[in-house]
Structures are given as C-alpha cells and as structure tokens.
A = this chain, B = another copy of it.
Amino acid sequence: MLFQIVKSEIVSHLSYIVGSKNEAAVIDPRRDCQIYKDIARKWGARIKYIYETHRNEDYVIGSLELSNMTGSQIFHGIGLKWGYGETVKDNQEFSLGSLKIRALYTPGHSPESTSFAFYDTETEDQAIMVFTGDLIFVGDVGRTDFLGSKMTPLMSEKMYDSIIKRLLPLGESVIMFPAHGSGSVCGGKIKEREISTLGIEKATNPMLKLSKEDFISYKIAEQHEMPPYFKKMEEYNLKGPPILGNLPNPPPLKPSIFNDKIRKGAQIIDTRSPSAFGGAHIKDSYSLPPKRLSYAGWVLTYDRPILLVIENLEALDFAVQNLVRLGFDRIDGYLVGGFESWYKDGLVFDEVRLMSVQDLRQRIISQDDIAIIDVRRRSEWDEGHIEGSVHYYLGHLEKNVDKLSKQKPIVVICKTGNRSSFGASILLRKGFGKVHNCLGGIDAWNKSGFPLTK
C-alpha cells in the first residue's frame, strides 16, 4: 500500500497520497502539486481521485492543477456552488485498488466539510484510517468562525455532532489524519505530534472532554485572526484558481533593474534572516523570514508585482513555492547575486537595530523612554508579556501605526525575533526611525529568567 504525508511547512498543511494496486488518491493537494504525480509515478500508480475535505481558506487548493496534469476526478462536499469538480454524497463509496473509501458528511468547520474514511476490503472491510480535514486535529478541533460570529454557535454545534455522531463511531482504533499540524492558523493548540487515532483523541483531546454546551461556549469565546488574503483563497477555492502549468520562474535582476521596478511600485520581500535584515536591507522591503512567509497574506496586494531578496537559489524556490500557495503568482524577479550585489553597486541600505533581551531588560530598569510593541497573537500575549509593553497583533500593526509615536525608540518583540523583524520592517516603511528588533524575544526573555506579567 502506498501512504505518504506531504507537508507544507509554512501553513502547516497536511496532504496525503494513498494508493493500492496501481490506483492512488490524493487528499487536499497543494497547488505546487508535481510532488503527488512524482510519488504516484515512482510507485507505479495513476491518481484516480482527488478529495477535498473542505473549501480551504488559508491556501490555494491544488485539485484543479493536479487534475489538469493527471485527469483525476475531483470530489468535494455538499452545499457549495463549486466552479469545478463533483459533489460527493454523504456515505458515497469509492473503490481504490483493494481499499474502499466512504465520504462522511461532517459539517462544522465549514458547511460542506466532509471526512473520508478508508476501509481495507482485504481485512474484513475494516475501517483503517480517516481523513478529517479541519474537523478535528491532534489535540484540537477546527475553527467555527468563518461564517461570522452569528453563525459560530450553530457551526460549533454541527462540529460537535459531526465528531461525536459521525467520526468517533468509526472506532477507537481508526488512525486519524487531519489537514493541519502544529503552527497552523486554523487551530491554535494542535500538537506537534502528527500521528493519532480516534481513540487517542477521545482519551486526550481537551475539546472532546467538554460537554456539548461547554464545547459550543468554548468555541464562541475563541478569538481567531482572519488575514485579508483569506478572501482571495475562498474565491479561488470555490471557483477554481488559475492554472499555473509550471511554477513561476522569476528572472535574475541586476540591482539597477531591480531598483527601477521598485520605483514603479513593486513590493519587496526579503526572506533573509532577522540578523541579516537588521544588519542591512533595501529600504521599504518587508522582512519575511522563511518560517513566517505566510504573513505576506496580511500586507501584499495581488495587483502589484513582487520582488525577492533571497540568500540563495534554494531560498528562492522556497519563497516562490510558498507565495504561490497564497495565490501570489506575480513574482517579477529576484536580486541576482543576493543583497551583496545591491551594496556593491553603491546603492543605499537601511538597518534595524537588533537588541538582546539583556539590553532590553537594562533599558527597562534604567527607565529609558522606549516603547515596547509586542506583536504576538492575543493568546500568546495573554499567557504573559513584559510589563510596560503594549500589544498590537502583527497582522494589525500596519493599520495601527498612527497610534504610535515616532519620537521615541521602539522595540518590537515577538516570541523569537522573526515576526518582530516583520513588524519592525512595517514600522520602517511607515517612516519610523528608531526601530529595534528584540532578537530572541519572549523565548530568550524567559530563558534569561526575566519576569513576565499577565
């Protein structure tokens, strides 16, 4: 049997390819989908089915792209006016080699959410595994806020029922494969472990220990962020996104041409490390270290070209791949020779001063007149922050800059220094002069034994 997890790190998206006897199925493919074809080819299978567990909000689904390559059939859930593929019926069954697949209508995360249970027909038709999409994760459940706060109670109730009445009856020994892992914006408490069973979740998932009422109340009280690019994703994933054929292949640009494009309005993403960005960078560029590239969805627009400052070709491929997953296909080029070629040409650069937690601590003790901006998620802030710091969630920083003073030094802080580098770059772009990034962030602060407040 073929079974392989394909993980997309930045959005912590988990997709899967399963095969039996020369036939394969892919669950929730990503847009850069050559990988599924390569796996199937190597294993000697044709991709017969593509299943979508739900209309994704946080990345562009690759079903149409993959189907275009392979001729596979696409199936998704009941109730949306899909622009492509076919709608699956509840309990509809499929045959894949010696496997049987059953669609389970499991709304909650979204109205059309569907789970797919796989049975081994050679083993007494035993249910072996289930792909749960955003219904349930390892240690958490999916969001129920996408239809707006009015609908959250109803969606939460549906989710509870879907888990209790449709999913768990499959049996405790069934292995569970969700659509997201730890780090996703689609579930804040997902465990790092990417392997679980319905039994393990039943026993340990905190959400499954709640009564139905408590479950619904908990979900209503939850606070989630909704980056602006989600709108584009929803539109794409309903109607079908543009077909790429191949990934964009941005050309190498000399500094002078790169500079021309900046002047004409291109958006610059610098994926180098916070240390390098702090040391020197092109004015007006966004600092988006690889791990935090998905924050591009908060600030980039779809209608202007993107330029990349990257360390090497591997980083270029990584950036392109991840931007495309967010629908940002207009990548006009990268700075050839890296940032070095910029300053070798005598072009000016900017800096972000990097501050250690020891320095920050000292300045607080010395009562220096500095503003400390904490850009982490609300839930992280609530768990403990530096006394005297103020909270602006990173995604909301750009629209809140008017509330900040340009007079005094600003120290941006997050958990480790990546998101704060992005935050600092936003402030620089808005004309703030004395911006610092606290390298190490709250992690380093804690390690150093400095106090937090709640």
Contact = CB atoms under 8 A, between A and B. Distances in A.
B346 A447 contact: yes
A1 B195 contact: yes
Q: Which of A139, A174, A197, A441 counts the most B-chain CB atoms under 10 A from its CB?
A: A197
B197 A197 contact: yes
Interface stretch (A144-152, A293-301, A307-315, A376-384): A307-315
A5 to B, nearest CB: 9
A3 interface: yes
A444 B280 CA distance: 15
Nearest to A336: B44
B128 A200 contact: yes
A195 B336 CA distance: 25
Contacts of A98: 192
Nearest to A71: B251
A381 to B, nearest CB: 19
A101 interface: no
Interface string A302-340: 000000000111100000000000000000000011111
Interface stretch (A214-222, A349-357, A385-393, A402-410): A349-357
Contacts of A336: 22, 44
B346 A357 contact: yes
Nearest to A253: B46
B195 A129 contact: yes
A263 interface: no
A358 B354 contact: no
Interface stretch (A106-114, A156-164, A267-275): A267-275
B173 A126 contact: no
Contact of A349 (B120, B254, B351, B356): B356
Given A199-B172, A344-B416, A337 B44 contact: yes
A195 B172 contact: no
Contact of A171 (B199, B272, B278, B441): B199
Contacts of A249: 37, 69
Interface string A49-76: 0000000000000000000011100000
Interface residues of A, number: 89
Interface string A28-43: 0000000001000110
Interface string A181-215: 00000000001111111111011100000000000
Contact of A345 (B191, B279, B281, B444): B444
A277 interface: yes
A342 B249 CA distance: 35
A435 interface: no
A445 interface: yes
A443 interface: yes
Contacts of A288: none
Interface of A: 1, 3, 20, 22, 37, 41-42, 44-46, 69-71, 98, 120, 122-124, 126, 128-129, 139, 171-175, 191-200, 202-204, 245-246, 249, 251-252, 254, 272-281, 311-314, 336-340, 343-349, 351, 354, 356-358, 416-418, 439-441, 443-448
26 contacts: A1-B193, A3-B194, A22-B336, A22-B337, A41-B252, A46-B251, A123-B204, A128-B193, A129-B195, A173-B199, A174-B197, A175-B175, A197-B197, A197-B199, A273-B311, A273-B339, A275-B281, A279-B351, A312-B312, A312-B314, A343-B416, A343-B439, A344-B417, A344-B441, A344-B444, A344-B447
Question: 8 closest A-B pairs (Cβ-Cβ)?
Answer: A173-B199, A279-B279, A346-B447, A276-B276, A275-B279, A346-B444, A343-B440, A278-B279
Given A46-B252, A98-B192, 8 more contacts: A1-B192, A22-B336, A126-B204, A174-B200, A279-B279, A340-B416, A340-B418, A343-B356
